[in-house]
Structure 1
Amino acid sequence: MVLSSTIILVFCLVAFAVIHSALASLPFKRRLMQFLGSKADTLYMPVYSLIAVLTISPLIYLLIYNPGPILYIVPSPWRWIMVGGQIIAAIVAPRALLDAPHRFKIHSQLSGPNTPEAGALNIKGIYRWVRDPFLLSGIIIIWLTPFMTFNLLVIYALTTIYLYLGSLHWEKRLIAQFGDEYREYQKQVHRIIPYLRGHY
């Protein structure tokens, strides 16, 4: 029973990852730009986020009703410290969108280095301390969960791998967009571990 529920959960996660990756791919964005024109930049993020929520919902539902055997529960006060860390990480993700909105515009992602469409890298905010705040916040939210079950552990481990591979792909895309400017940035700021003194 535990094994079958785990397999179903893994299948749901893989299905989510496939849909999520396909919608985030440059070929899909290129076709979307051809179809919608300048409206693509405005519509993409809210629709993409909605689809992400809808496609991850079955996985969350199944995890709630099929958590598997409990591996541990962190006692107070440590659990509240962990929850506090999760809350801080949850605040970082939307902050990262505000600090670099130009990175998420489709017409900018489809352009090359040193073009008006690509724009300047313009490092500010959270990006002065860490290159991929989404990867960092995701890992913190996942692994600071103050309890763990078998199915949760499997999903968290696979999600961490997916986030890490997604981060590698995202960095390649940023190099394609910003060229040597981003390569120089990579030398000064770590991708996951924050440099507390900051750069830039």
Structure 2
Amino acid sequence: MTQFDHQVNSISPEIAGSRMFKFIAFLYGIAAYLVFFVTVLYAIGFVMGLVVPKSIDTGTDTPTVEAVIINLLLLALFAVQHSVMARQRFKAWWTQFVPKAVERSTYVLLSSLSLLLLFWQWRPLPAIVWDVENPDIAVTLVTAALAGWVLVFASTFAINHFELFGLHQVTNHLLDKQASPPRFRTPLFYKFVRHPLYLGFIVAFWAAPTMTVGHLLFAAVTTLYILVGIALEERDLVDLFGDEYRQYKQRVSMLIPWRRSA
């Protein structure tokens, strides 16, 4: 048991342990997951300009400087929410007010809502940076982008998709099952790259046959955020797994498969 486990939850044990509360928490977890799932599907259309009513290159015409400022604020809001709420110290404070069973679902829900806000309020910057005219190369880039999204989803299932997005926790809570202690594993893609999920996002964001200034801003800032996020996440993983993770870092490259780790 860590020092964080000694935090007092504001929900009384009687309420938190009731069957009705557990069922409500389970429904809440499902709802949060569905919002996340819709958000990710919309994100694919938003970045690639497919199907969705508003993509990264459509929306309200705004003066360039104003558009850049608004877009950076939207990205910063997501980055701060997504990173701060993932830190152990924040969780220790947060679970004084939010039951531990729904902490992950709440994190997933708020992350999804901040992304939906970004999609809604994003200002296009339509100036063209590059436009691939060769149809074979264009198709290759679109295929690579789709492959990046597939890698994102596949990476979550390679570890524990339903735990990552909160369903595992609310199900265990409903069934009165204790969560298994975390253990270090490197399944599938994780044998070749430490962060295949983030690699998938980077490929999906940059593999574009037509790159506008707005898309470039989105891709550049999110890539920078991913690199910062990796540093924070790996610090937490070293704290959790110690030498086991340090040795993994020495063996396996961070983002480029089969490249020898520095």
TM-score normalized by the length of structure 2: 0.62
| Alignment partner, residue 51 of structure 1 | 110
Structure 1 residue 57: Cα displacement: 2.4
Does the alignment pair 1:173 with 2:231?
A: no
What does 1:29-178 align with in structure 2 at a 5 Å threshold? 29-36=91-98, 38-40=100-102, 44=104, 46-63=105-122, 66-75=124-133, 76-101=135-160, 104=164, 118-178=181-241
For 1:96-148, what per-residue CA distance to the aligned partner results, in whole angstroms no more than 9, with x for missing partners?
Answer: 22222399599xxxxxxxxx975431221211111011221111011102211
Return 5+ residue gaps in structure 2 as ranges.
1-62, 167-178
| Alignment partner, residue 58 of structure 2 | none
- Give the SS at the match of 2:193: coil
Q: What RMSD in Å do the two structures reach over aligned CA positions?
A: 2.7
Structure 1 residue 34: Cα displacement: 4.5
Give the ranges of 4+ consecutive aligned residues of structure 1 lying more than 6 Å apart after TM superposition.
Answer: none
Distance 1:37 1:15 in 2: 24
Residue identity (%): 27
Distance 1:36 1:50 in 2: 13
Distance 1:14 1:146 in 2: 26
For 1:131-166, what per-residue CA distance to the aligned partner results, in whole angstroms no more than 9, with x for missing partners?
Answer: 011221111011102211112222221111111110
Alpha carbons 1:118, 1:177 under 8 Å: kept: no
Label 1:68 to 1:7 Cα distance change in 2 as closer, same or farther (>3 A). Answer: farther
Alpha carbons 1:118, 1:178 under 8 Å: kept: no
Please identify the structure whose Cα radius of gyration is greater: 2
Return 5+ residue gaps in structure 1 as ranges.
107-115
Name whichever of 68-77 and 79-88 sits farther off. Answer: 68-77
Label 1:105 to 1:32 Cα distance change in 2 as closer, same or farther (>3 A). Answer: farther
Alpha carbons 1:2, 1:68 under 8 Å: kept: no
Q: Which has the higher contact order (CA 8 A, sep 6+)?
A: 1
- Give the SS at the match of 1:121: coil
